[in-house]
Amino acid sequence: MANNTKAMTKLQQELEGFDPRLEAIEEQITQRAELIKAKKQQSNNVEDEIFADFCNSIGVSNIRQYDERELRAQQDRAKKRLDFENQKSRLLNQLEFEQSRDTEGKLLDATCPYACCLPLMSTLCIHCIAHTILSPTLL
């Protein structure tokens, strides 16, 4: 029992020693965060100086605003491209299904009503695909 009491007392003393070290480390973290913030602001100021003429010519207040706008535009383009590819895949799958259903060859005998392709041989152009899917009267 006496050994346990000594061990517990020793551990409590060590634990009490952690508080000042923890506070010192937290203070260092706070100082470094402030230093990082200051360096970031300096970097922003230099960027603003370098790109001031460019930003004025395109009507943005700073280069970060331009970067954000361009990133958003790039993400929008990527999303539209993905949406287009998905729609194209869906239409091609639908076309394949419709062609497999077409036992009399009616789809292959159709011509493009949009004058974007010659009379069809073995495949349909994208306009014909959309027209065929959206206008079941051709079937």
Predicted confidence (pLDDT) per residue in 110-132, tens digit: 555 555 555 444 455 666 666 65
Q: Is residue 113 one of the residues assigned to a domain?
A: yes
- Residues 130, 131, 135, 138, CA torsion sign: negative
Name which of 31-45, 79-93, 114-128 the model is least confident about.
114-128
Domain extent, residue 117, equals: 74-139
Number of domains observed in the structure of the chain = 1
Q: Is residue 31 one of the residues assigned to a domain?
A: no
pLDDT > 50? residue 138: no
Q: Is residue 126 one of the residues assigned to a domain?
A: yes
pLDDT > 60? residue 109: no
Q: Is residue 116 one of the residues assigned to a domain?
A: yes
More confident residue, 79 or 135: 79
Query: What's the whole-number average pLDDT of the chain?
Result: 82
- Closest to 139 (Cα-Cα) out of 91, 89, 101, 87: 101
